[in-house]
Structure 1
Amino acid sequence: MSFLACRVFKDSEVQHQLVQMDTDELSSGDTLIKVDYSSINYKDALAASGRGAIMKTFPLNAGIDLAGTVVESANSELKEGDAVIVNGCGLGESFDGGLAQYACVDSSFVMKQPASYSSRDSMIIGTAGFTAALAIHRMEVNGQTPDKGPIVVTGASGGVGSFAINLLSKKGYETIAITSQSTMHDYLKDLGATDIKTLSDLELSDKPLAKGIYGGLIDSIGGETLSKLMANVDLWGNIACIGLAQSPKLQATVIPLILRGVSLLGVSSTNCPMDLRETLWNQFGNESPLPDFEKILSKEIALKDVSPYFDELIDNKHRGRLLVNCQ
């Protein structure tokens, strides 16, 4: 069976191509899925553009998430036609990913799609929405509450940031959205941001312990920004670390951790346990009202048209989510 895929190769350099391939060329797995929708995440953009060392082997189809229907499976719990989701678990990193019309995966990575929303909704959420939900979950398990103060969200106009702001606002948190783009202010307000600032507005100091004015932080950029913001998190606040767009380095001291009880929490959507993964995915369908899927959607793209969007996403030319229609 021939189908279209966005396949990443490594010769003298890493580059992607849109190719026709057969299902018997896919990574081995016990479940074949017809992909309806995928998305372009920051990690996908790094992998397909060659601007980040994401993939463990080559060639490989890009795409760290997918929603589609089961074609066949050796697992008796998965039937032909079942609507399913796969995100993380090595998809698009160690085995062929979702930016293709078919994918073959291990059934242990497959989750049945919640009935309350469609495959399209699932991939508007995608790994970005799931990561935001996981970050908030980790913070709240560790005692985060709205009365501890506002949550700072860096990279606010990106996929994770957009969902974090929307989900936090629905839970009653004040949020401070950090963005350098004035054109994003109305968008972020519409998602529920309480306040919108640039990094320079925060006037971050180099002190290891500054005034405690934030209840917590969801950070997608790392580096100096994360290091300095830690000093402003108040007593028993939580920091969810989900990205490294600025830098993977952390030059902070332990002082906020040992004098204020601040917790630095790692958030890994790739290897989240399946029981928690299912709980968080189903959470989106239980929210009342539902998360603002369409507001967070930047653009819907056909699979054949994905190529320009990898560099554009890295260069911050899109807000929210880039949905890919693979049908």
Structure 2
Amino acid sequence: MFDAILINKDENGQTVAKSQITFEPLAEGEVAVDVAWSTLNFKDALAITGASPVVRSFPMVPGIDFSGIVAESRHPDYKAGDKVILNGWSVGEKYWGGLAKRAQVNGDFLIPLPEGISMREAMAVGTAGYTAMLCVLALESNGVTPEVGEVLVTGATGGVGSVAVALLAAKGYNVVAVTGRASEADYLKGLGASTILDREELQGKPRPLNKERWAAAIDVAGGQVLANLLSMIKYGGTVAACGLANSMDLPTTVAPFILRGVTLKGVDSVMAPKAARQAAWAALAQYLDKAKLEAMTTEVSLDEVIGIAPKFLEGQVRGRLVVPVAPELG
């Protein structure tokens, strides 16, 4: 029996509680992992609160990230004692996730813990940080360099945004950090932002084109925010879009794309192939300042997860939340 956060749903609605779970014997290709650290992400908050139907079957253990030590393996790439991490792959939505003492998953979903990163640091990075790195790589693959101009980051105090600001600054970019909380300016400048922009500047009704302002952007918001920033990206610029915190809609026109040659690159971290994951993690190990990572990281216990989840939806969470499930493992 293993402690876990468990979501159930019946005709009376959804319930969430800390419970105990058991597992069937390992199937061929599966790996059992003793979870050391997990995280609390925006998607986990949606699952726990039921605010969006991200959970596809019940009962469900949420937690789209975890790091830990292999306890048992029927996968050729892993053996007992290996340190591993998992991000995405619909874990916590379709398959039981990492907010539990043990996880049992398809071994193809795992990658070895990267060199130079501890299990706690891997979860401080988590899906949010790994997504941020994929976004940075997407910009660079389209020719965005520090010399071309400022790069804007929306949702800058959140998990993806905080890591994106720190990564871009480490690579020499001038970063414009967008936030709706002026009180977080010192936090964002500490991560490396050179300019703070009030979110309200991107909230109005979008025009097809506005004055050119930024060379590129990383967007977690979608909706009017993304439409407005697309209208202000400089000629030939690129926007990496990875979220929909504002809206799934995109109320824009083709004008930025056909009149300014703007590129909108979608970034998916959930189903990204193994090679892309390993490239992102290698870049994170090289460029992410661990002191800045620690500055944006807060620990919350497994017992606190359910109560904290609604704060994501209220925009009250800063940076990264890590969950010490069994920190004595490493």
Q: What TM-score comes out, normalization by structure 2 length?
A: 0.94
Partners of 1:53 and 1:95 in 2: how far apart? 15
Judge conservation of contact 1:65–1:88 (CA < 8 Å) in 2. Answer: yes
Structure 1 unaligned spans of 5+ = none
Compared with structure 1, are the counterparts of its residues 26 and 80 closer, same or farther at alpha carbon in structure 2 (3 Å cutoff)? Answer: closer
Please list the CA deviations of residues 183-207 of structure 1 after superposition, one character each: whole Å capped at 9, or x if unmatched: 2111000000010011234696743
- Partner of 1:190 in structure 2? 190
Please list the CA deviations of residues 271-307 of structure 1 after superposition, one character each: whole Å capped at 9, or x if unmatched: 111011011112222227547220110x211212211
Compared with structure 1, are the counterparts of its residues 236 and 291 closer, same or farther at alpha carbon in structure 2 (3 Å cutoff)? Answer: farther
- Partner of 2:125 in structure 1? 125
- Partner of 1:8 in structure 2? 7
Larger deviation, residues 26-35 vs 134-143: 26-35
Q: Per-residue deviation at 1:155?
A: 0.7
Please list the CA deviations of residues 229-269 of structure 1 after superposition, one character each: whole Å capped at 9, or x if unmatched: 11100011111111111111001111111111111111111
Residues matched between the structures, number: 325
Structure 1 residue 74 corresponds to structure 2 residue 74: yes
Compared with structure 1, are the counterparts of its residues 291 and 142 closer, same or farther at alpha carbon in structure 2 (3 Å cutoff)? Answer: farther
Compared with structure 1, are the counterparts of its residues 312 and 288 closer, same or farther at alpha carbon in structure 2 (3 Å cutoff)? Answer: closer
- Partner of 1:199 in structure 2? 199
Q: Per-residue deviation at 1:141?
A: 0.8
Judge conservation of contact 1:28–1:105 (CA < 8 Å) in 2. Answer: no
SS across alignment from 1:279 = helix
Q: Per-residue deviation at 1:89?
A: 0.9
SS across alignment from 2:108 = helix
Q: What TM-score comes out, normalization by structure 1 length?
A: 0.95
Compared with structure 1, are the counterparts of its residues 232 and 26 closer, same or farther at alpha carbon in structure 2 (3 Å cutoff)? Answer: farther
Q: RMSD of aligned C-alpha atoms?
A: 1.8
- Partner of 1:318 in structure 2? 317
Sequence identity (%): 38
Compared with structure 1, are the counterparts of its residues 128 and 154 closer, same or farther at alpha carbon in structure 2 (3 Å cutoff)? Answer: same
Map 1:1-327 to 2 at 5 A.
Answer: 2-11=1-10, 12-24=12-24, 30-201=30-201, 206-287=206-287, 289-290=289-290, 292-297=292-297, 299-327=298-326
Partners of 1:135 and 1:27 in 2: how far apart? 35
Compared with structure 1, are the counterparts of its residues 278 and 114 closer, same or farther at alpha carbon in structure 2 (3 Å cutoff)? Answer: same
Structure 2 unaligned spans of 5+ = none
SS across alignment from 1:292 = helix
Equivalent AA in structure 1 for residue 73 of structure 2: S
Partners of 2:309 and 2:214 in 1: how far apart? 34
Equivalent AA in structure 2 for residue 246 of structure 1: N
Compared with structure 1, are the counterparts of its residues 105 and 253 closer, same or farther at alpha carbon in structure 2 (3 Å cutoff)? Answer: same
